[in-house]
Amino acid sequence: MNHYAELKTIRDFIRLATSKFNENGLYYGHGTDNAWDEASALVLHTLHLPPSINPTVLDARLTQEERERLAALIEKRIAGRIPVPYLTNEAWFYGMPFYVDERVLIPRSPIAELIERQFTPWILPDSVENILDLCTGSGCIAIACAQAFPHAEVDASDVSEQALAVAKINVLRHQMQDQVHLIQSDLFASIPVKQYDIIVSNPPYVSQDEMNVLPKEYLHEPSLGLAAGDQGLDMVLPILQEAEKYLKPSGILVVEVGNSEYALADAFPEVPFTWIEFERGGGGVFLLTAEQLRECANYWL
């Protein structure tokens, strides 16, 4: 790492990291989609600087300790193909920072955009009292929902004790412990019998074919949060079978299924899935009302 000794400023490190990331063919998809943004996120976080700073600060000179720390992390990103959020233990979702490590998936769901819109026009925001986040992982969707609906109770469930331990860190970090309740549950198995206005879920949905060709960066994430059988539908089908029993008559179900959207639509061509369109990109998220779930109950049998 001797070539790092020639670097003096923040800009120097972002520039070199960008070049090295491009040279080594890294994959981006955990909060950034290009080498420059990836390098900026790593360098600025490591220096305890905000993502948006006055550009003149980029010419600030670094101490030897800072240079050594940055050099080590850049090399670790390249050699280990470790996503930046796992190196910094931080990811952003809904404009909020979340602690992450390899016990949970890195937040990146387009559902954040739906939460910003308070799930309108499919729900009346002022009427929302109870929300369930299935497969909560880091807790980011549940906490974002609590922020968007400050008068609602939010239950956040996951089958993984390790994931719930991370979610607890984030619940405490954002002081949501009185509003967000963590539940260990295999989908609906241990969910209390109650009815929700909104059930939202980003469950495992990666098909076996996709798992076989995932970039190395994704192999650092827990396979429990990714793999969902041959077609990627192993989790969404039980959700469709059970959700209506846990929804108010006016309630909605929102589920992200990613690229398994096509397998799901092909399996149930008669079901009137509403596939959400997002202004900031992303897709594979469907919405069904409680009434639609009830009318389609025979299809899931």
Residue that is last in its domain, among 63, 88, 113: 88
Q: What is the mean pLDDT of residues 12-26?
A: 96
Residue % of the chain over a pLDDT of 70? 99
CATH, residue 67: 1.10.8
Q: Per-residue pLDDT for 158 more than 80?
A: yes
Residue type, 152: A
Are 261 and 199 in the same domain? Answer: yes
The pTM is what? 0.94
In a domain, 96, yes or no: no
What pLDDT digit, counting tens, does each position of 75-87 carry? 999 999 999 999 9
For residue 60, pLDDT beyond 80: yes
Domain of residue 72 covers 2-88
Burial 101-121 (b: 16+ CB within 10 A, else e): eebbbbbbbbbbbbbeebbee
> Do 64 and 166 lie in a common domain?
no
SS3 133: strand
Same domain, 193 and 124: yes
What is the residue-averaged pLDDT of the chain? 94
Confidence of residue 2 (pLDDT cuts 50, 70, 90): low
- Between CA 280 and CA 97 the distance in angstroms is 19
Same domain (yes/no): 195, 273: yes
